[in-house]
Amino acid sequence: MRALQLAVLLCCLPTLFALKAGDWKTCSQSAFCRRGRALAARAKEAGPTWNSPYSVDASSVAVAAGEATFSAAVKSSVYPDIKFKLDLQVLQDGVVRVRMDEVDGLRKRYDETASWALIADPKVSSNVQWTVGKKDVRAVYGDVTVVVKYEPLKVSLLRGGQEEIVLNGGGLLNMEHFRTKEEPTVAAAPGEESAQEVLEEKPNPAAWFEGEEDGWWEETFKSWTDKKPKGPESLSIDIDFPHHGHLYGIPQHATLLDLPTTAGESPVFDEPYRLHNADVFEYLASSPMSLYGSIPLLYAHAASGSTVGVFHVVGSETWIDVAHPSADASHTHWVSESGVLDTFLLPGPTPAAVAAQYARLTGAPVLPAQWALGYHQCRWNYISSDDVRSVQHRFDEEDIPVDVFWLDIEYAEEHKYFIWDKKSFPDPVDMTNDVEAIGRKMVVIIDPHLKRAKDYPIYKEATELDVLVKQSNGETEYEGWCWTGSSSWVDFFNPKSWAWWRDLFKTTPLENGKYSWLDSTENVGVWNDMNEPAIFNGPEITMPKDSVHYGGWEHRDVHNINGMLFSNQTWQALYARSDPPKRPFVLTRSFFAGSHRFGAMWTGDNLGTWEHMAVGLKMVLANSLGGMSFSGADVGGFFGNPEPEMLVRWYQLGAFFPFFRAHAHIDTKRREPYLLDEPYKSILRDVLRLRYKLLPVWYTAFRETSVTGSPVLRPQFFVFPGDETGASIDDQFYVGSSGLLVKPVTTKGATETTVYLSDKKPYYDYFTNSIYRGGQKEITRDPFTLRVALDGTGTARGELYLDDGDSFAHEHGQIVWREFVAESKGKGKSKSLRLKSTDLVTAHLAEAVDGVALATYDPTNAFAESIKNVKIERIAVLGLGKKPAAVKTDDGRALEWEYVEGVSSVGKKEGAASVLTIKNPGVFVSAGWDIIIE
């Protein structure tokens, strides 16, 4: 997108902030990460002589009848008495599941992560057969071969005979088994009386592989000591991509989309990428540090265009080293604190195929309410009901569009969520109704920490129900410190908490007399913040790892899953709040694989700097690859007071985030768009209007991602996988399949920018219609204007999806999904261009709606009838080769049109494209029609 020009150059300096890096661990301060890196160092030092101690017992291989599943016993040469079991499955779509667990151990490893992340048990293929050989087990389907080598254990996925994904090829698999803590033996010192004794430690014969004891039973970080009664239980695995030189994913990190190295020769970072959900406020703009969410999904991409992926289903803290042994190969080493090996190999072979395979496992992103795609105005905090009304009035007075107003924590009395501070908000329902009266919505924050106060009904009921997280003894409520002061946390792993939490959001009295949110409405959205969980007096500002959840599991086992369950149950509560249900809006800060089923997320407490603006885009792209398409960053930066130029640039970027919200810290100056001086205020007004003009594009893109799993924002490699030059580009992107290419400006003082075009098709400047070589088609609304951007063959195609935008009636076929095509007909003087609108639903019943295969479709359904009179008021055709002789409907009705000479889409010329504008064509957005351009 060409940048909006600024007439004034500014030189204001932003407020400076600093990350307190010492509040969070490095790998060397984390015992299990330290052990994992030491294992890799020993393997590297040993070179070719290093062999994994794990092997498959060939005599134990058992192939299931009628499905592509086999299991086998795995043994370790360093611990022959410890038993492991390996299970492999080929799923119906060709994905391979590799699972390994300890058998008959002293304790049970946490194995429930998949039950939270996956939408259902994956369906195993009944057509693929495993072949058992003397040295391996293998399965062949299409051009894919899966090989499980017995000794040492190695799992490979090959395409066309070439290894694409390899597990344990470098011998770094290590599942630390449960063991009994051995105290040093006591022996008499030589030549002395037995009364003088010394402590002797037994030599460890496994030290060549696992090293000496290091933080097995406890470790200390700053003032906190982590007791580990279960002992060591970490999981290490190396995953290599011998022919894929680019890696993307494993969000959330503030770094490049094409992940920089952390190991190997001259690594960019000296720390591994960490997945450990944490409240890292004022985070660095370039770092592998953990942030608020964790999705253990990795894409590997090759110069040939081949793309594969791995989904490593572990919910505990995980560190990942990344290296490139050569320009076209990648090595990764994953080290997790606990859990079983449960890894899905996604064979691709394209980025879209990997996204679809992941979506079939974890579910596709939920289709949001249409209003949620508008502009959201937030700050910490709007201080009163009158303040909210005043802000709304100013937006209307300045004719600046906005859809949603937000309330941060200060609305709640003593930060007791659900309970309004009636001094500042004496009329919360009336205030909300005033906002809703003109079609807008309110979003209110609900954090997971409950104030430990006897007069707080939410805490009182949670205590009575016994659904709060416990201390390490498994009995006493865990107590920590957060915004509410002394606080406890709901344990959403406990099924008893679910119905109770849903009832809290009811806006009518409950029959059982329990609390419900009467001071709310059925349209209020909810913001779930601080759900990592953030705990001010906890280690690394979070919950101690030896805290106990439902089922006796330690917090260390489920830390990264914890935040997802909070937003999951909030989404379920909003769904159950009304009858019939309305699409819930929930924003979460913490997330895990599968969180995309429950709403939106944002990149947390960023800074008002140019660097954070730029990296925010890279983070949103990475989050989108992880399924979190409904994502964005705080426009303007949460911290700091950006100068007008920066704020304008941030809005220009934010308007092309799927989730578009401005937010600011309580100590910042107010910066609502109407407060800016001219020309900045008018520029922001135009940016916001552009967002609303393109809402049909956004909504159609969200429908596509809710069915296919392909992200709403698509990086260059995703759209053009065969273009090696564009494989690392992360400062421009495409919006769905619309053909809309966006290049924001994120550098100070810039008045122009360079856009990279992967192909030779014509690309049209959205604002000037100038033609460059590239291009597809885009559909915009003004209120409905169809813009047809012809490609290099003089044709075009696009889609438009519509429904009521609020309910779940789309799951019952109450939709309109149209295809618009421009195609050439005839030759010579009889050649014409035909524009057509046709129904897509009938021919694609299984793909029209996420998770629902429609049995039939009625084009005259109630929703379609409700918009049958909505016209397409104008059609603009860009790139015609010459002025038409006539423009008419297929029944011969002549249409009014005008033509401006310009460059044709066919050929090599650049410059202002020709524009044919058809005025009031008399056709309708939900109906079929043909227009002939002769």
Distance CA 280, CA 290 (A): 8
Among the listed residues 403, 529, 557, 803, the single catalytic one is 529
Contact 585, 599 (CB under 8 A): yes
Could you tell me the two tokens for 78? 């360093």
Q: What SS3 state is found at 334?
A: strand
Distance CA 934, CA 46 (A): 75
What is the 3-class SS of 898-913, one letter each residue?
Answer: EEECCECCCCCCCEEE
Could you tell me the two tokens for 813? 């076929």
Reported as type and span, the H/E element at residue 918 is: strand 915-924
Q: Cα-Cα-Cα-Cα dihedral of 331, 337, 342, 348, to 10°?
A: -30
Among the listed residues 226, 605, 731, 799, the single catalytic one is 605
Among the listed residues 67, 279, 321, 532, the single catalytic one is 532
Contact 371, 738 (CB under 8 A): no
How far is Cα of residue 740 from the mean position of the Cα atoms in its chain? 21
Q: Any catalytic annotation for residue 81?
A: no
Q: Which of 272, 280, 274, 259 is nearest to 589 (CA)?
A: 280
Q: Which of 86, 84, 88, 109 is nearest to 97 (CA)?
A: 88
Distance CA 553, CA 546 (A): 9
Contact 455, 484 (CB under 8 A): no
Q: Which of 607, 755, 745 is nearest to 285 (CA)?
A: 607
Backbone phi and psi for residue 477, each to the nearest 5 degrees, phi listed first: -60, 135
Q: What SS3 state is found at 336?
A: strand
User: Do strands 441-445 and 525-528 pair parallel, antiparallel, or not at all (unpaired)?
Assistant: parallel
Distance CA 346, CA 367 (A): 24
Omega prior to 533 cis, within 30 of 0: yes
Q: Which of 628, 633, 639 is nearest to 603 (CA)?
A: 633
Alpha helices in 408-456 (DSSP H): 428-436
Contact 931, 792 (CB under 8 A): no
How far is Cα of residue 64 from the mean position of the Cα atoms in its chain? 35
Could you tell me the two tokens for 455? 């007069």
Strands (E) in 709-862, as ranges, are 713-714, 733-735, 740-742, 763-764, 770-772, 778-780, 785-789, 796-802, 816-825, 832-839
Distance CA 281, CA 661 (A): 18
Q: Which of 81, 75, 82, 83 is nearest to 55 (CA)?
A: 75
Q: What SS3 state is found at 565?
A: helix
Distance CA 884, CA 888 (A): 11
DSSP 635: B
Buried b or exposed e, range 481-502, using 16+ CB within 10 angstroms? ebbbeebbbbbbbbeebbebbb
Contact 75, 83 (CB under 8 A): yes
Q: Any catalytic annotation for residue 532?
A: yes
Alpha helices in 381-486 (DSSP H): 385-397, 428-436, 457-465
User: Do strands 763-764 and 273-275 pair parallel, antiparallel, or not at all (unpaired)?
Assistant: unpaired
Please, is 811 exposed, middle or buried when counting C-beta atoms within 10 Å of its C-beta (0-12, 13-18, 19+)?
middle
Q: Which of 855, 844, 836, 849 is nearest to 921 (CA)?
A: 836
How far is Cα of residue 57 from the mean position of the Cα atoms in its chain? 39
Q: For the chain, report the end-to-end CA distance as a whole number of angstroms.
A: 32
Q: Any catalytic annotation for residue 605?
A: yes
Active site residues: 529, 532, 605
